[in-house]
Structure 1
Amino acid sequence: MSVLMPTYRQDAFLTRAIGSLLAQDFPDFELVVVNDGSDDTTDELVRAYDDSRIRYLRWTDNRGLGAALNAATRLARGEFIAYLPSDDYYDRDHLSRCVAALSADPGLHLVHSGLRWVRRPWDIAVRPVESTATLHGDRLPEAGTTDATKADRTGISRLDVRSGNYLALVQVVHRRTFEDTVRWRERTELVSDSLELDFWEGLRARGARFAATGATTCEWGDHPDQRHKIIAGRGAQNANQANHGYGLSRYRQFYRVPSRTRLNWQPVAQGEPVDERVRYLDPQAERAGARRRTDGLRILLVGAMGYNPDQLLALERDGHHLGGLWSTHPHFWETTGPLPFGDAEYLPHDRHWYDRVRDFAPDVIYGSLNWPNLPLLHQVQQAGLAPFVLHLKEGTTAAMQAGSWPALRDLVLNSAGRIFISPESRDWFDTILGPAGPVGPSMVLDGDLPLRDWMTDQWADPVGDDPDEVHTVCIGRILIEPMLELAERGIHVHHYGSSYRRWAPGWLATAEETPFLHLHGHLYPRDWVAELSRYDAAWLHVFTSDNGGDLRSAAWTDINLPARISTYAIAGLPWIFRRNAGQFVGVERLADRLGVGIGYSGVDDLAERLVDERKRRVARTNMRAARHTFTFDHHVPELVSFLRRAAATR
């Protein structure tokens, strides 16, 4: 029996796991430990065991769970393979029961014990542990039928496993029959929370037969740093979203993925899939037009970026040196370092962060962008290491709810410069903060503007054969009118972004049968113009404002600019939005200033406006004329001048 133990940053659990193996009543095993680049005390702990059955491979860099499992499999010498992740543990009779089941049926390829886990804190006083035969309950799903979006979420699957996986590594023992044809997928190929599921399904596709031992003999660990939670969060309760973060940036930081490494990120049920090899410019194009300048600023970025993080390349091309002190708990839509593009120096936010920043010696600190990062921004601003410029996108209401409003107020009042996403946002802060408001420079700049590189001239012909039909498009969250009402008026809707459709099951359920709804996959910036310019107009968020024209009563939706506006602008698309007569709404004001909107008062009114080809053409012409102002590059000269003014206040 070869027991494989891949481990990374789990020294706190390691000795419990190894101790549970050494206590087995089945002694004929070897333990193959692969230390996947841990930067804790794992190495010392493993080497402290004086047991010839323990074999040890240590990597200095982290290569991912798939690579560690493949390496351990190659080293294994046993007839059977078992798994003991270092944060799990075995009961004393686990291996003996699994071996007995396999020995009793030579045609059986894999056996699994039942699995025990500790319940959530709000349940623990009543019922501290639960156990089932699989992660999906007491029955193994039929091969090839697992769909994470439709899975029967019972037991632990309901709480924590979003991928559809039905067997945890710790509960499995199998033969080595298919070792040459079924392997663990490695990070260089793909990163997904379906790693285990893909392996099990690969075995079953080749005829491997699975069976349960009928006994619960192992325990599945539960903590925020489990790989599947780092990728996809903590199930239905979302308990670790705010406290621990999850998603691609969290994965990069935790596993110390090197800067400029591009991943094929494919979470199953939470977060937007992205192949970074396609999403970003190739390395040569990144440096197109770059220049070196002796007076370039040293800019320290603090916090997190939004939907267009490669905008930073425009600053590098302008000759500035960037560093990043990033949030360690980013939300899945945020981007932090280590970055997959550019040359920004990565400064980990650990106990040595102050010294790292001092050594980087920034001319100015540029704090951005959203409310989850406010505690970090405030901590860095208070340290006084360099003049601090605050760039806030979202949002005041969320900051208040999260208890971060005092920090945000202090940042606005005491930064060397403030950048607001819109004039309305700036005016809102001036109104709320009153006479004691900030003194000093400010500017207006949307924080989610893309690179100019994506503003191509690959204009496409209109979609559809009927020139009288209207085709609209929506990217991201579905916050638009009911689809059936639009279909009744002959308005087509094309939606891009499958992950966002999971947030609108009710809207989709009513629209499944209509031929006027068209669903598309993820859209990369390089295809924005060629794909989106086929449509007649694009949906912004549809909402009802009730501030009565009083800025003091405005909600964040009233003064926010949705990230999608720049995507639509790049593609020359007019914006569709519901008019809020007599209310103070920033995006309506912007659309009216530029003449790029199709504002409406009701669905019938919208239908009439959309079929007016002349009005659409005017709005489209205006948008194409203004689209360069929705690129980050366009604003770099003004931004750099602003940062220099802030730096001069040192």
Structure 2
Amino acid sequence: MPRAEPPAPRVSVLMPTFKQAAFLPRALESLLAQTLTDWELIVLDDGSPDETTDVLAPYLADPRVRLIRFERNRGLGHALNVATREARGPYLAYLPSDDVYYPDHLGTLADLLDARPEVDLAYGGVRWAYWNYGPTLRGEEAVGREAEVIASPPAAKRGERVPSGNPLALVQVMHRRQDAVRWVPREAEVSDRLELNFWRGLLDHGARFAYAGELTCEWVDHPDQRHKIIAGFVGGLSRYRAHYGVGEDVWLNFQPSRGMRTDERERYGPFAAPRPRPARDGLHVLLVGSLGFNPERITALEALGHRLSALWLPKTETWDSAGPFPFGHIETLPLGDAWRERVWAARPDVIYALLNWQDLAFIHQILSALPDIPAVFHFKEGPFICLEHGLWPTLVEVLERADGHVFISPENRDWFRLATGGRLGDKPTLLLDGDLPSRVWMTDEWAPKLSGRDGQIHTVCAGRPIGLVPWEEIAAAGIHVHFYGAQFHEWFPNWSREGLETGHMHLHPTVTPAGWVRELSQYDAGWVQIFDSRNGGDLRRANWDDLNLPARLGTYAAAGLPWIMRDNRHSLVAMQTLAQRHDFGLFFRDFADAAAQLRDRPRLAQLTANARAAREDFAFETHAPALIALFRQVILRRQQDAGVPLPSD
């Protein structure tokens, strides 16, 4: 006779887990301690690479515990949909493997649902971030107003721990089983709004929520929580891909509630081409670190017939870019105990280490462990944050270890030569901005100028509005500022609000590279960082602003826009020198002066023509051959120093 199916439990507890073996015992023991014992646990191991299977093994002896394991990570939405399908109980509860139930949690919520058939979702109070206690993540005011708060969550405040506005953590919820609403899978969208959108779906289908009136669980606070990986400052698209092991074959629509948003297929689709034919004398370049903005530029090296592999910075900040990428054909070498063996098996010809101060310790580690491979170090920033963070010795050691250097400007190169007292020697050097965009985005889809339509001054700010104050003077000068990027609106809410009140601020969503020319060329000019330089021509007196080249410069160059900047021609300023060289800089003393120059239509037309003519110099493809030549030069020097016979010998 077939084995009889055991009776359905009162509650099905769903436990998604990934790479949290250390947390599992605490979560599982909190379930075993429940006063309500009529439950089943469905553990969905979403491809964990750690000791999760070993930790779970003794708990599987309990017949109430079932394990479903994926060979690779499929994402939380998919895991919850599978676990929901497998659940047999009329009530569903959630115990993410890094969270904790208090003993009365399941009983309290199940009793509420039993007693109140009109309620579809019950929730207990939650402890979170160690010192926070309350009925919801949005405080007591959300109780009884769940539908309102979930439909229109308040805007995230500066430092907000839950920027999505989600009021209910998974761990605090139990709801009646239903089949109408599904969790959003990774294939559709990656967002820290996953829970919020599910609660919205339930409400759209008529669900009613109720608070059980007691503190019954804990939402455990730690750096690798999913919402922090997605929307935290040390998070973002690259961090998400690295943490969950998302491969090059997966395109993501990454939409965090805070931070940089990227639909990869839209952004990088033009670079999803077959692997170019390798050149007979092509190099194998090992990238080490991260790529900053415009990472697709690196495919220009592949197009020249060279092979790329990479050791990526494990933890990036929200704006930074590190692989694996769905575009190009960069072989990601996994970090771990055997990473050196993997590098030697790959046999790279040269290391290309880049790009920011956050990468320095990682680059130092890799270069120190691989002294026999020629290396080129590309540093896109001034040195001052390195000094602030105690990284100056590391920076100097990396510069000394590298066989060649790439500096972003003559000012940066000369500053480092002064600061290191000749310790860099005569090593080969190249000048190359660290964030140049690809030529692919430099289309001819020019838009008519808004100023030609209404006679007003229309400018654009496509990055942080540093120094663009006060609004009273900007508006009095008659200058309209079009501010792009939802993430920047969030980072500068007071500035945006003050600007909107003047009638001269206009907010726009982020414009992707495919739309740079079509969208941004309608403006008269673009604002760069506004500051007063005080170095007086002495680089020893230079600061970060003097040496910096903001990433937006390439965006403005692609769109053929003149740059608006403070008149610092009495000092040495890297972006000022660049603008002077191409004669597309508008240098102003005050906002009235800026407005007067922007109303000088013949001169503005000349600056615009100059900017459009200079675009090629801001395309990474233009400089890729020189970068390869630098690689070959350092390789040749290493061979000569080692006494290796050259082909011409």
1:551-576 residue CA offsets vs partner (Å, 9 max, x unmatched): 01101210111111111111111111
1:182-221 residue CA offsets vs partner (Å, 9 max, x unmatched): 1111110111111111111221232211111111121221
What corresponds to 2:243 in structure 1? 254
Deviation at 1:465, TM superposition (A): 5.8
1:360-439 matches, within 5 Å, as 360-383=346-369, 384-439=371-426
| Percent of pairs with identical residues | 48
- Which residue among 53, 74, 83 is the counterpart of 2:85? 74
Measure the CA separation in 2 of the matches of 1:443 and 1:260: 34
**1:88 counterpart = 2:99:** yes
- Which residue among 522, 529, 532 is the counterpart of 1:544? 532
Distance 1:255 1:54, change over 3 A: same
**1:475 counterpart = 2:447:** no
**1:107 counterpart = 2:118:** yes
1:192-341 matches, within 5 Å, as 192-233=191-232, 241=233, 245-268=234-257, 270-282=258-270, 286-287=273-274, 290-341=276-327
Name the SS for the 2:444 alignment partner.
Answer: coil
Please tell me the residue identity of whatever aligns with 1:306.
G
Deviation at 1:142, TM superposition (A): 4.1
Name the SS for the 2:292 alignment partner.
Answer: coil
Measure the CA separation in 1 of the matches of 2:146 and 2:33: 35
Measure the CA separation in 2 of the matches of 1:67 and 1:649: 53
Please tell me the residue identity of whatever aligns with 1:81.
L
What corresponds to 2:30 in structure 1? 20
Name the SS for the 2:427 alignment partner.
Answer: coil
Measure the CA separation in 2 of the matches of 1:419 and 1:264: 33
Q: Where does structure 2 lack aligned partners over 5 or more consecutive residues?
A: 1-10, 639-649
Measure the CA separation in 2 of the matches of 1:468 and 1:371: 44
1:253-298 residue CA offsets vs partner (Å, 9 max, x unmatched): 0000001422111111x212111111113455x459x442121110
**8 Å Cα contact 2:461/2:481 also seen in 1:** yes
**1:585 counterpart = 2:570:** no
What corresponds to 2:139 in structure 1? 137
What corresponds to 2:168 in structure 1? 167
Measure the CA separation in 2 of the matches of 1:638 and 1:558: 26
Measure the CA separation in 2 of the matches of 1:531 and 1:509: 23
What corresponds to 1:125 in structure 2? none
**1:486 counterpart = 2:474:** yes
Name the SS for the 1:428 alignment partner.
Answer: helix
Moved more, 259-268 or 590-599: 259-268
What corresponds to 1:513 in structure 2? 501
Please tell me the residue identity of whatever aligns with 2:238.
S
Measure the CA separation in 2 of the matches of 1:575 and 1:118: 45
Q: Where does structure 1 lack aligned partners over 5 or more consecutive residues?
A: 120-128, 234-240
Measure the CA separation in 2 of the matches of 1:582 and 1:506: 33
Deviation at 1:102, TM superposition (A): 0.7
1:494-573 matches, within 5 Å, as 494-573=482-561
What corresponds to 2:3 in structure 1? none
Measure the CA separation in 1 of the matches of 2:406 and 2:101: 55
**8 Å Cα contact 1:271/1:333 also seen in 2:** yes
Measure the CA separation in 2 of the matches of 1:260 and 1:495: 35
Pairwise CA RMSD of aligned residues? 1.7
- Which residue among 32, 56, 63 is the counterpart of 1:52? 63
Name the SS for the 2:480 alignment partner.
Answer: strand
What corresponds to 1:187 in structure 2? 186
Give the TM-score normalised by the residue count of structure 2.
0.93
Name the SS for the 1:12 alignment partner.
Answer: coil
Moved more, 347-356 or 101-110: 347-356
Please tell me the residue identity of whatever aligns with 1:428.
W
Deviation at 1:28, TM superposition (A): 1.1
Kindly tell me the number of residue pairs found equivalent between the two proteins. Answer: 622
What corresponds to 1:610 in structure 2? 598
Distance 1:581 1:456, change over 3 A: closer
Measure the CA separation in 1 of the matches of 2:82 and 2:425: 58
**8 Å Cα contact 2:356/2:381 also seen in 1:** yes
**8 Å Cα contact 1:249/1:337 also seen in 2:** yes
**8 Å Cα contact 2:500/2:506 also seen in 1:** no
What corresponds to 2:618 in structure 1? 630
